[in-house]
Amino acid sequence: MISIRGVSKRFGKVAAIDGITTEIADGEFALLLGSNGAGKTTLLRCILGMHRFEGTISVGGHDAAADGRAARALVGYVPQRPALPSDLTCTEVIDLFARLRGRRHGDPAWLARVGLEASAGAPVRALSGGMRQRLALAVALQADPAVLLFDEPAANLDVTARRALHRDLEELAGRGRTVVLATHLAADPLRVATRALVLHRGRAIYDGPASGLGAAVQQRVIFTLNGVGSGDLLPLLARFPGVRVVETPGTITATTPAGDAFGLLAAVAVAGLRPVEVHLEEPSVDPQRLIESGASLDAQPQKEPTP
Amino acid sequence: MTTMRVLILHELGEAIRNRWLLAYGVIFAVLALGLSVIGLRTVGAVGLEGYGRTTASLLNLCLGLVPLIALLLGSVGLSGDREAGVLEMFLAQPLNRMELLLGRFVGALAAIGLATFLGFGLAGMLIGLASGSSGGLQYLAFLGIALLLAGVYLSIGTAIAVAARSRMQGMAVALAIWFASVVVFDLVLIAAGAMAGAGAQVLAAAVLLNPVEIARILALLLLDPSLEMLGPVGGFLVTRLGGPGTAGLLLGALTAWLVAPLALGLVFFESRDPL
């Protein structure tokens, strides 16, 4: 459904993405993973024809650069920070974007589907960040596109809404839609995605099954200390295999494979250590671990793209 | 409904919703009526002055105000949408960039046209009722020139918006162009004529570089085609080309000014990353 071959994009002297080649099949739920600045948004914008780029991208057989209009007709897009005309009401926004896709009017049922039926008459400027995200989701979904591109859609959502969103995406993929989700967080999506493409400094370092990322999915546990007991905590954390510990004044950060974080916390509790605060970050892919694990593309023989 | 039509109606709707259209309409109406009343007061009469004198009084105000409004509207529209992120949502839809830019341009021009005709039209109706219809056609033609001038500066503003890195930069460039067109150009022309001894032919060619001056001569040609009123450049053109020939040249020049910046903006918009 989406074919990306040798795609590079430079902003001045900086290569935002560099020689990316991948194929995303019909009905696949693909994750585009990487930290901020890895090139995820740039790649999505190239797929949408918003950026000029080197290489070729096609969506459903339509060239994204030369036949962008036809390619975009197959795509629904939810950007990282959706901005919609602020004076329009939710219903008017749905109508406007439906008309731009050749429909007579929008389907208000989509507002209900994303939980905005009570705000149908409210102007966009009165909506919270999460509500705007959901409105953008309704705009993207109402066209029933074959391909859905999401750029960090969970950024403005609380945990419950995030889970619900990921369930929706899974359901969309189950209905045969091709879903590409760009995110730097890998907790929920990894369980439902079928495929992962990991970007690091603009280059693809992993392209394969989402389940193949293994120990490269890391989670940071940040302990804030009150000055007492740090001496006990450091050796305790160091005993855990695969845990990297960094100490800064007042805090200790332990980076651990995602599934091991709770074991670490349990050991700290059992040892009677009482940090002032413990912050558990959401799991994300650690490019360095991925490269070290040998699962990265750099560690594998490069596949030639099929003509 | 075609994509262009959707975009035009959206732009027009935004203008009505923002109330700037209403504000400009009211300003235009107050100016036209005010100048008509003041014009008669100065000759010791009470009521509304006829079309001819009102149009002449309105000319200078219109030549200053219309380009300013059109430039600002054109320059902040697209660059503002880019900054706010709205442009990204539009670019993700199945429409091409030419449709997007042209749709917005035509919608904004329709909004300015509506404000112009509502404001000056309402005032014109009252003047016609009070003073008779003599000069009414000239008044209508003057509105047409005002609209064409609005189109020219909206086109320049749109090109600025495409090239500008930010809304503020777009506004700054727009204001500089307005200042150059309305204030500086006249002074440069006078200096060139007086100090450098530039001939009427050179000055006539120079006038074609400034849409405000083109519109001024065209409007004067319409109101009072006497050589004293037209000034040295207008007089030179009428002597060489005749009245209709001069009007044709000036209309052609304004049309070229309408098309060229917009075309340049389109080329830029198509060839550059718009975000």
Chain B residues in contact with A48 by the CB 8 A cut-off are 91-92
Q: What is the pLDDT of residues A208-248, one digit of tens each?
A: 988 888 778 888 899 888 765 567 788 888 888 888 888 88
User: What was the pLDDT predicted at B148?
Assistant: 94
Q: Give residue A307's pLDDT band: very low, low, confident or very high (50, 70, 90).
A: very low
Residue A149 has phi, psi (to 5 degrees) of: -110, 125
Burial class (CB in 10 A: 0-12, 13-18, 19+), B141: middle
| Residue B36 to residue B15: CA distance in whole angstroms | 28
Give the whole-angstrom CA distance, residue A192 versus residue A178: 13
Higher pLDDT, A202 or B192: A202
- A chain contacts of residue B100, beta-carbon cutoff 8 Å: none
Per-residue pLDDT, B139: 78
Q: Is the pLDDT of residue B214 over 50?
A: yes
**Partner residues linked to A62 by β-bridges:** A59
- Measured between beta carbons, the chain A residues lying within 8 angstroms of B78 are none
- Closest-CA residue of chain B to A67: B96
Mean pLDDT, residues A46-71: 94
| Token pair of B218 as six digits | 């065209």
Cβ contact B95–A104 (<8 Å) = no
Q: Does B270 touch chain A (CB under 8 A)?
A: no
**Mean pLDDT confidence for B125-131:** 73
* pLDDT tens digit sequence for A59-97: 999 999 999 999 999 999 999 888 999 899 999 999 999
- B162 to chain A nearest CA, in Å? 14
Distance from CA of A139 to the nearest CA of B (A): 10
State the pLDDT at residue A176: 87
Rounded-to-integer distance, Cα B144 and Cα B28, Å: 14
| CB contact (8 A) between residue B89 and residue A52 | no
- A71 → chain B, closest CA residue: B94
Query: What separation in angstroms does the CA of B156 have from each of A63, B83, B226, B256?
Result: 33, 20, 32, 12
- The shortest C-alpha distance from B121 to chain A (Å) reads 28
Of B6, B85, B95, the CB nearest to A79: B85
Looking at per-residue pLDDT, the higher value among B38 and A33 belongs to A33
Amino acid letter for position A135: L
Interatomic CA distance for residues A61 and A43, integer angstroms: 18
Q: What is the dihedral of CA B255, B259, B261, B263, to 10 degrees?
A: -170
- Cβ–Cβ under 8 Å, residues A257 and A215: yes
Minimal Cα–Cα distance from A285 to chain B, Å?
A: 28
Which residues of A fall within a CB distance of 8 Å from B10?
85, 96
Cα–Cα distance measured from residue A206 to residue A212, given in angstroms and rounded to the nearest whole number = 9
Contacts of A75 in chain B (CB under 8 A): 92
Cβ-based neighbour number of residue A85 at 10 Å: 22
Range in A38-47, B13-22, B229-238, B240-249 with the lowest mean pLDDT: B229-238
| Both structure tokens of B123 | 């005032």
Do the Cβ atoms of A104 and B89 come within 8 Å?
Answer: no
Q: Does B17 touch chain A (CB under 8 A)?
A: yes
Q: B197 in contact with A at a CB cutoff of 8 Å?
A: no
Q: What pLDDT score was predicted for residue A306? A: 45
A83 touches chain B (CB under 8 A): yes
How far apart, in Å, are the Cα atoms of B183 and each of A51, B120, B149? 40, 24, 16
Average per-residue pLDDT in chain A? 86
pLDDT score, position A302: 46
Mutate to test the interface with B, among A9, A99, A101 (most CBs of B within 10 A): A99
A303 pLDDT band (50/70/90 cuts)? very low
Residues A226-229: contacts with CB under 8 Å, at least 24 apart: A226/A275, A226/A276, A229/A273, A229/A274, A229/A275
Smallest CA-to-CA distance from A31 within A228, A167, A222, A209 is with: A209
pLDDT of residue A92: 95
Number of Cβ atoms within 10 Å of the Cβ of B94: 18
Count other Cβ atoms within 10 Å, centred on residue A5: 16
Give mean pLDDT, residues A267-292. 84
Q: In the numeric block, which tokens belong to residue B173?
A: 């460039």
**Of residues B128 and A59, more confidently modeled:** A59
| Pairing assessment for the beta strands A203-209 and A195-200 based on DSSP bridges | antiparallel
Average pLDDT value over all residues in chain B: 84
Task: Give the angle A216-A220-A225 at the CA atoms, nearest 5°.
Answer: 155
Cβ of A70 and B94 within 8 Å?
yes
- Span B12-36, average pLDDT: 81
pLDDT at A269: 86
Burial class (CB in 10 A: 0-12, 13-18, 19+), B83: middle
Quick check: A179 pLDDT over 90?
yes
| Contact residues, chain A, for B3 at CB < 8 Å | 100, 102
d(CA A103, CA A112): 19
A73 to chain B: closest CA residue: B94
More confident residue, B86 or A213: B86
Model confidence at B229, pLDDT cuts 50, 70, 90, reads low
Rounded to a whole number of angstroms, the distance from the CA of B93 to the nearest CA of chain A is: 6
Q: Using CB atoms, which residue from B14, B94, B274 is nearest to A101?
A: B94
Residue of chain B with shortest Cα separation from A93: B10
B45 has pLDDT over 60: no
- Cβ–Cβ of A82/B95 closer than 8 Å? no
Read off the tokens for B152. 């020219």
In this prediction the pTM is 0.85
H-helix or E-strand containing A33? Answer: strand A29-33
Q: Which residues pair with A75 in a beta bridge?
A: A147
CA distance B59 to B139: 10
The continuous run of DSSP H or E covering A133 comes out as helix A129-142
Cα–Cα distance for residue pair A15/B269, rounded to 1 Å: 22
Mean pLDDT of A268-272: 85
Region A126-139: mean pLDDT is 89
Which value, in Å, is the radius of gyration of the alpha carbons in chain A?
A: 22
**Cross-chain Cβ contact A85/B273 below 8 Å:** no
Helix (H, G, I), strand (E, B) or coil at A103: coil
Residue B17 and residue A83: Cβ atoms within 8 Å? Answer: no
CA distance B102 to B155: 10
Return d(Cα A52, Cα B83) in angstroms, integer: 19
Residue of A59, A81, A88, A100 to mutate, interface with B, max B Cβ within 10 Å: A100
Residue of chain B nearest A101, judged by CA positions: B94
Residues B185/B217, Cβ–Cβ less than 8 Å: no
DSSP A197-257: EEEETTEEEEEEEGGGGGGGEEEEEEEE--SSSHHHHHHHHHTSTT-EEEEETTEEEEEEE
Closest Cα partner for A97 from B78, B71, B69, B94? B94
Q: Alpha-carbon distance B212 to A79, whole Å?
A: 42
- Rg of chain B over all Cα atoms, to the nearest angstrom: 20
Identify which of B150, B126, B103, B99 has the alpha carbon closest to the alpha carbon of residue B36.
Answer: B126
- Which of A278-282, B13-17, B51-55 shows the lowest mean pLDDT across its residues? B51-55
pLDDT at A299 over 60: no
B14–A87 CB contact, under 8 Å: yes
B138-154: pLDDT as tens digits: 778 888 999 999 999 99
Q: How far is A257 from chain B (nearest CA, A)?
A: 36
Which among A52, A69, A81 has the least Cβ separation from residue B95?
A: A69
What mean pLDDT comes out for the span A186-208? 85
Is A97 in contact with B93 (Cβ distance < 8 A)? yes
**pLDDT at position B223:** 76
Pairing, β A147-151 against β A62-63: unpaired
Which of the four pLDDT bands, split at 50, 70 and 90, describes residue B78? confident
Task: For chain A, give the percent of residues with pLDDT over 90.
Answer: 41
A81 and B CB contact within 8 Å: yes
For residue B151, the surrounding DSSP H or E stretch is: helix B136-163
Q: Are residues A82 and B85, on separate chains, in Cβ contact within 8 Å?
A: yes
